[in-house]
Structure 1
Amino acid sequence: MTTTKRIFVYEYLSGGGPMPDEAAAAELLPLGLTMRDAMAADLLASGDCAVTVASSVRVRSGEPAGAAIAIPRAGEAATDFVARQTALHDAAWIVAPETGGLLAQMARLVGPARWLGCSEAAIALCTGKGATLRHLAAHEVPTPLAFAQDPAVRRWVVKPDDGAGCVDTRIHHSRVRALDEAAAAAQPMTVEPWVDGEALSVSLLCGAGGTEVLAINRQRIGQRADGLLSFDGLVLNAIAPGSAEGQAIARLAAQVGRAIPGLRGFAGIDVVLHPQRGPVLIEVNPRVTVAYAGMSAALGRNLAAEIVADKLRAPQEAIA
């Protein structure tokens, strides 16, 4: 007899998480709703999940059919809301920024028994870009650190150590200028060599059985006159997983999975496909990304159901 599992789905923006700039929140909200609704739809389609989604006054309409709705109380902190709802459910599937340790804090509040996703230790590691690269390099994963002494390197990247994507990321043609910008910044910054090649976003399914590449997408990265980078979208499924490049990326993903065994569920890695050295790991996203939307249908399988089943088979472990 199948037991219905009560699962709480929380996405930070649609769930009312505070933002310093509500205009920016409104701009990003459609992406948040896309992730939330895709996750909920897959859970509901599995046939053995009762789903509650977080909502808020930001969401005007279009709640997912078949899901219950939970709204934070007036003045309730996002962490308190998640803790309160988790206590009413068997599991929680959370999408929130790693920035400031928020996602790791939520993992700690929910607890490993109910948390669907990467372990708190894995999230904490991946929150710091510099620490992630050093950890992976120590496990022989190719990273930009391997290019630090390469005389062919002509450009250097400065970006927030605790940040997301291309936000506040700038290219310099001098390492000295890159270091000067990092030293003058109000927040900790990472300086690393710019890796030439094709920028890719790789969607992974991480479980007890290993790390599987679901899709390899090409990133459109723009650069302004002042060196600031911008993320201008994705070309989905740009590289076939069975191709020579796809197989090389799969080997890299397996290395990352072994180096960070707390990766679980849907996660993403950003990779540059260097023309001579092959795939180079840039950063790890230890949570659902917008690439999740539509992927179950594209692959002909219910990823959410697989994530829940993997959790029930083997609860996630922290990084060794």
Structure 2
Amino acid sequence: MGRIFVYELLSAGASCAAEPADAELLAAGRAMRDAIVGDLLRLSGLHVTCAVGGAPSFPHRPRLTTASPRPGEPPAAFVQRLARQHDASWVVAPETNGMLMRLHDAVGAARWMGCSAAAIRIASSKRATAALLDAHGIATPLAAVDAQRWVVKPDDGAGAMATRVHASRPAALDDLRRREGAGGAATLEPFVEGEPLSISLLAGPHRVETVALNRQQLRIDGEGWIHDLGVHSHAVDPRTDPRAPRLQALGREVARALPGLGGFVGIDLVWNERRGPVVIEVNPRTTCAYVGLSDKLQRNLAADVLALHAARKADDAVAA
């Protein structure tokens, strides 16, 4: 029987979840965790251990156990300890401050169900990702030199975290300098007008498949801050939306440009009326679009992720 460890950073208690500012992020983290665990338990022959913070939040289910960090135990130490007891680990965490990279290293490449260290390292930087994709002829905000508005955000941020839109480039530069002066790693780029979308991708050494085209729900408040209101997964119908073939091709192009993408990953983009799809960032991890997606597609996406992990391990064994 295979043993899988599922870890989602916030629901495992690695954040001050009691603070109101974290409530929505915590809810999103729990939803991803629960969706992954639910899909895994629908597969025969698997035992799942799920990381929880504080009291376990799952009812008793066969083949499911829960584990919590010891008092004061850092996330990487906890993940490393549990990963050693399992055949594979499915980890969901933001790239911010190198957290996803540290957890990858704690698990080790052989047990990690997801992107390679090299892919995580590039995708963890907005600037590095844009430069790489631009070099491969994929549209990014770098080409929008005629933008009317500009955006400043953490270079390693997740989602819309601390992202602000400015009406002019000088105002954006002032924001950038303030953040850098405070020690933050920030980036400035043109704001791309259009409809925010995302691509859910299954990726592995011999397979890249766009499984869903999603609509992102964003709001810009009166001070320019962007708020993430969630995602409507599988909202763009590939059978009827004329943009679908181009979006599906874009998923394959990004995977070719950024080798090492693995498992379930997300590509955030804006559909601009003049330019078409413009890639904003690549998320080298499971995203909120995963929640409910297996039911919508009538397929168990966890089975796909496990198969991609097995294929990568087989390739590594041959190479060794």
Output the TM-score relative to the length of structure 2: 0.91
Where do 5+ consecutive residues of structure 1 fail to align? none
- 8 Å Cα contact 1:101-1:127 kept in structure 2: yes
Deviation at 1:276, TM superposition (A): 1.7
Q: Identify the residue that residue 112 of structure 1 maps to in structure 2.
A: 109
Q: 1:301 aligns with which of 290, 299, 302?
A: 299
Deviation at 1:20, TM superposition (A): 8.2
Q: Identify the residue that residue 175 of structure 2 maps to in structure 1.
A: 181
1:99 aligned partner, one-letter code: T
The separation in 2 between residues aligned to 1:44 and 1:235, in whole angstroms, is 24
Q: 1:314 to 1:234 in 2, by over 3 A?
A: closer
1:157 aligns with 2:157: no
Matched ranges for 1:81-230 at <5 A: 81-148=78-145, 150=146, 153-185=147-179, 186=182, 187-230=184-227
Output the TM-score relative to the length of structure 1: 0.91
The separation in 2 between residues aligned to 1:134 and 1:199, in whole angstroms, is 21
- 8 Å Cα contact 2:123-2:282 kept in structure 1: yes
Q: Identify the residue that residue 264 of structure 1 maps to in structure 2.
A: 262
1:250 aligns with 2:244: no
Q: Identify the residue that residue 61 of structure 1 maps to in structure 2.
A: 57
Q: 2:35 aligns with which of 38, 60, 66?
A: 38
Deviation at 1:199, TM superposition (A): 0.7
The separation in 1 between residues aligned to 2:310 and 2:30, in whole angstroms, is 27
Deviation at 1:33, TM superposition (A): 1.6
- 8 Å Cα contact 1:54-1:69 kept in structure 2: yes
1:9 aligns with 2:6: yes
**CA distances 1:145-198 after superposition (whole Å, capped 9, x unpaired):** 0112x3xx2111111112122222111121122112101112121111111111
- 8 Å Cα contact 1:122-1:286 kept in structure 2: yes
The separation in 1 between residues aligned to 2:226 and 2:21, in whole angstroms, is 18
The separation in 1 between residues aligned to 2:160 and 2:115, in whole angstroms, is 23
Deviation at 1:60, TM superposition (A): 5.7
**CA distances 1:107-155 after superposition (whole Å, capped 9, x unpaired):** 112111100011111111111111110111111111010112x3xx211
Where do 5+ consecutive residues of structure 2 fail to align? none
Q: Identify the residue that residue 310 of structure 1 maps to in structure 2.
A: 308
Q: Tell me the secondary structure at the aligned position of residue 33 of structure 1.
A: helix
The separation in 2 between residues aligned to 1:26 and 1:169, in whole angstroms, is 18
4+ runs of 1 displaced by more than 4 Å?
A: none
The separation in 2 between residues aligned to 1:232 and 1:111, in whole angstroms, is 34
Q: Structure 1 residues 262-271 or 26-35, which shifts more?
A: 26-35
Q: 1:270 to 1:87 in 2, by over 3 A?
A: same
The separation in 2 between residues aligned to 1:235 and 1:298, in whole angstroms, is 11
Deviation at 1:63, TM superposition (A): 4.5
Deviation at 1:269, TM superposition (A): 0.9
The separation in 2 between residues aligned to 1:25 and 1:167, in whole angstroms, is 11
> What is the number of equivalent residue pairs in this alignment?
310
The separation in 2 between residues aligned to 1:244 and 1:180, in whole angstroms, is 40
1:274 aligns with 2:268: no
- 8 Å Cα contact 1:213-1:250 kept in structure 2: yes
Deviation at 1:309, TM superposition (A): 1.5
Q: 1:239 aligns with which of 236, 241, 265?
A: 236
The separation in 2 between residues aligned to 1:209 and 1:140, in whole angstroms, is 22
